[in-house]
Amino acid sequence: MVNWTKTEKATITDIFSHLDYDDIGPKALSRCLIVYPWTQRYFSGFGNLYNAAAIIGNAKVAEHGIKVLHGLDLGLKKMDNIEAAYADLSSLHSEKLHVDPDNFKLLSDCITIVLAAKLGSAFTAETQATFQKFLGAVMSALGKQYH
């Protein structure tokens, strides 16, 4: 169970209230697929991921990036019980999709990097620390059903 200060909760709420899902989601997932090419193996149904341009231009990648980013809403709505919020998605990723949980950290780092590039100086070190704490809690919850 993760404890949040009032300031941390306010910071997370603020980030998500301005979050451009349709921009950040596709950019974060495509960056993950380009920088860590072994993550492509889970997306064989998405068609051409042959090079960076193909990944960035792939409509299925873009659509899924938005879906993944909206997956963070579950944690936002249940910050005091993040594990419960991700029970189903954790089972899906472990039992059905067999995604290696190390990859969660890679994708979450890409989300942080893309958000930082978008927010510029507004993305202070404190904001980053809080956002990474939130993503860390989500990733840990997503990893719970792995045994």
State the binding site for heme b: 64, 93
Strands (E), the chain: none
Q: How far is CA 54 from CA 23, 49, 121, 122, 128, in A?
A: 17, 6, 31, 31, 30
Closer Cβ to ligand HEM, 8 or 86, answer by number: 86
DSSP state of 101: T
Amino acid found at 83: E
The residue at minimum Cβ distance from ligand HEM is: 71
Q: Which of residues 104-123 bind ligand HEM (CB under 6 A)?
A: 104, 107-108
CB of residue 80 to ligand HEM, shortest distance in Å = 18
Residues 6+ apart with CB under 8 A from 119: 127
CB of residue 104 to ligand HEM, shortest distance in Å = 5
Contact positions toward ligand HEM, by CB under 6 A?
39, 42-43, 45, 64, 67-68, 71-72, 89, 92-93, 97, 99, 103-104, 107-108, 142
